[in-house]
């Protein structure tokens, strides 16, 4: 088939060069370059280690804003259960309690990791933190600490502070429930004028229930890796999950996790009848994680068969042959030699 020619009789460059070759010529995108640059950073400084609670490595907060009407969020993964209840806070001008929404997205995850980091390093639930929120945004979130970025970070900090979080896990026949606000006695109202310096309180205090559970169940994460995945809540969740999961896989007994099971854990925003769409998004995020977490040993089972359309109850439904999903092999954690056991590094 002949190529279409323009009025000058020349063939457009876009018709001669494939999209893959064009990408090679242009070079990596900004996100891809950030991932490449972060792949060789080693977490030698203890201050470069963030922490996440194991329950939040196996479940997750919402990826996107669930809306003001959503007041609860639940995720269940095996014997792990997470329930988040949106809270209220006393308003300094209205002098009444006003509803505060559920925490969501990458920033909520990273703020919580940072709070965990400060508590674990200072070895106390009442922690001294950096002088300004602006400094935290620049150092940990790797964002310009002005305008829209600051407003979004302040909003997620307020949502985390007001929310009640229930963490449930069953281990060795025992059921453990942590039912508390993570942060207590926290002033979540900040100046609206972006030119004003935005201060943290001099201290923040974690609830004792959460603090005791965190000491026993904290998972170390590489802060440089987390910063470079800050564009994607899904990538952050996959990274945290693998950091917690891979070193626990038996050495001679790899574990295969099906695509439906992966969808149940990570695919709350994707139609379960269209697993192909979820797989496509998951694979992109997984490749980004693997660029940084180089010691992770994983087999990704591709399924190249297209889903077929059936009729079920008079409605069209897509069905596809089963695909295996992921096979996980025993691998070192991303922060080598710093696996947390019984509250000690």
Q: From first to last of its 345 residues, what are the pLDDT tens digits of the chain?
A: 445 555 555 555 555 555 555 555 555 565 555 555 555 555 555 558 999 999 999 999 999 999 999 999 999 998 899 999 998 887 777 888 889 899 999 999 998 998 898 899 889 998 876 665 667 777 767 776 666 777 788 788 888 888 998 988 887 788 888 887 877 656 666 555 555 555 555 667 888 888 998 999 999 999 999 999 999 999 999 999 999 999 999 999 999 999 989 999 999 888 888 888 999 999 999 999 999 999 999 998 765 556 677 777 777 777 666 667 899 999 999 997 654 443 333
Axis crossing angle, helix 208-217 with helix 105-122, rounded to the nearest 10: 90
> 104: domain range?
30-36+44-246
Tell whether 169 and 64 lie within a shared domain. yes
Tell whether 156 and 271 lie within a shared domain. no
pLDDT score recorded for residue 175 = 85
Residue 11 domain-assigned (yes or no):
no
Question: In angstroms, rounded to a whole number, what is the distance separating the alpha carbons of residues 76 and 279?
Answer: 20
Tell whether 226 and 278 lie within a shared domain. no
pLDDT score recorded for residue 239 = 98
Residue 171 domain-assigned (yes or no):
yes
Tell whether 107 and 213 lie within a shared domain. yes
Are the C-beta atoms of residues 113 and 226 closer than 8 Å to each other?
A: yes
pLDDT score recorded for residue 200 = 54
Taking the CA atoms of residue 73, residue 239, residue 170 and residue 86 in that order, the dihedral angle to the nearest 10 degrees is -20
- Residues ≥6 apart with Cβ < 8 Å to 154: 133, 190, 198
258 class by beta-carbon count within 10 Å (0-12 exposed, 13-18 middle, 19+ buried):
middle
Q: How remote is the C-alpha of 152 from its chain's centroid?
A: 16
Which SS3 state, helix, strand or coil, does residue 113 take? helix
**Residue after which a domain boundary falls, among 190, 220, 246:** 246
Q: E strands within 262-344?
A: 298-300, 308-312, 315-319, 326-328
φ and ψ at 253, to 5 degrees?
-140, 80
248's tokens: 């626990």
Tell whether 194 and 110 lie within a shared domain. yes
- The candidate with the shortest Cα–Cα distance to 204, out of 100, 106, 114, is 114
Question: In angstroms, rounded to a whole number, what is the distance separating the alpha carbons of residues 300 and 259?
Answer: 10
Tell whether 110 and 208 lie within a shared domain. yes
217's tokens: 């169940």
Angle at 78 between CA 75 and CA 83, to 5 degrees: 25
**Residue after which a domain boundary falls, among 194, 211, 246:** 246
Tell whether 226 and 97 lie within a shared domain. yes
Query: What pairs with residue 76 in β-bridges?
Result: 81
Q: How many domains does the chain have?
A: 2
Residue 225 domain-assigned (yes or no):
yes
Integer angstrom CA distances of residue 32 from 139, 233, 292 = 20, 16, 11
Tell whether 91 and 225 lie within a shared domain. yes
Tell whether 175 and 314 lie within a shared domain. no
230's tokens: 């800050």
pLDDT score recorded for residue 339 = 47
**Residue after which a domain boundary falls, among 246, 272, 301:** 246
Please state the pTM of the whole predicted model.
0.79
Tell whether 226 and 299 lie within a shared domain. no
Tell whether 93 and 161 lie within a shared domain. yes
Tell whether 60 and 190 lie within a shared domain. yes
pLDDT score recorded for residue 105 = 95
């Amino acid at each position: 088939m002949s190529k279409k020619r323009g009025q000058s009789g020349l063939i457009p460059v876009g018709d001669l060069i494939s999209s893959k070759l064009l990408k090679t010529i242009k070079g990596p995108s900004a996100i891809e370059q950030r991932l490449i640059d972060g792949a060789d950073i080693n977490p030698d400084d203890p201050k470069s280690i963030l922490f996440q609670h194991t329950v939040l490595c196996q479940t997750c907060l919402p990826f996107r804003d669930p809306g003001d009407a959503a007041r609860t969020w639940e995720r269940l993964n095996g014997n792990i259960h997470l329930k988040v209840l949106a809270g209220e806070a006393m308003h300094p001008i209205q002098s009444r309690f006003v509803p505060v929404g559920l925490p969501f997205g990458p920033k909520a995850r990273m703020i919580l990791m940072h709070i965990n980091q400060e508590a674990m390093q200072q070895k106390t639930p009442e922690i001294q933190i950096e002088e300004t929120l602006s400094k935290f945004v620049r150092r940990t979130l790797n964002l310009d600490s002005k305008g829209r970025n600051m407003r979004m970070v302040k909003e997620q900090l307020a949502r985390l502070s007001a929310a009640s979080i229930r963490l449930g896990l069953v281990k060795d026949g025992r059921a453990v429930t942590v039912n508390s606000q993570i942060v207590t006695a926290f002033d979540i109202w900040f100046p609206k004028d972006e030119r004003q310096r935005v201060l943290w309180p001099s201290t923040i205090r974690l609830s004792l229930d959460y603090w005791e559970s965190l000491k026993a169940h904290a998972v170390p994460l590489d802060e440089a890796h987390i910063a470079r995945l800050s564009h994607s809540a899904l990538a952050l969740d996959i990274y945290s999950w693998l950091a917690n999961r891979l070193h626990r896989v038996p050495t001679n007994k790899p574990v295969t996790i099906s695509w439906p099971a992966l969808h149940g854990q990570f695919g709350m925003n994707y139609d379960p009848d269209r697993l192909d769409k979820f797989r496509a998004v998951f694979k992109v995020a997984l490749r980004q994680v693997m660029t940084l977490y180089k010691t992770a040993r994983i087999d990704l089972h591709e399924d190249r068969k297209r889903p077929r359309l059936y009729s079920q109850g008079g409605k069209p439904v897509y069905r596809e042959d089963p695909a295996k999903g992921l096979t996980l092999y025993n691998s070192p954690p991303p922060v080598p030699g710093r696996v947390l056991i019984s509250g000690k590094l």
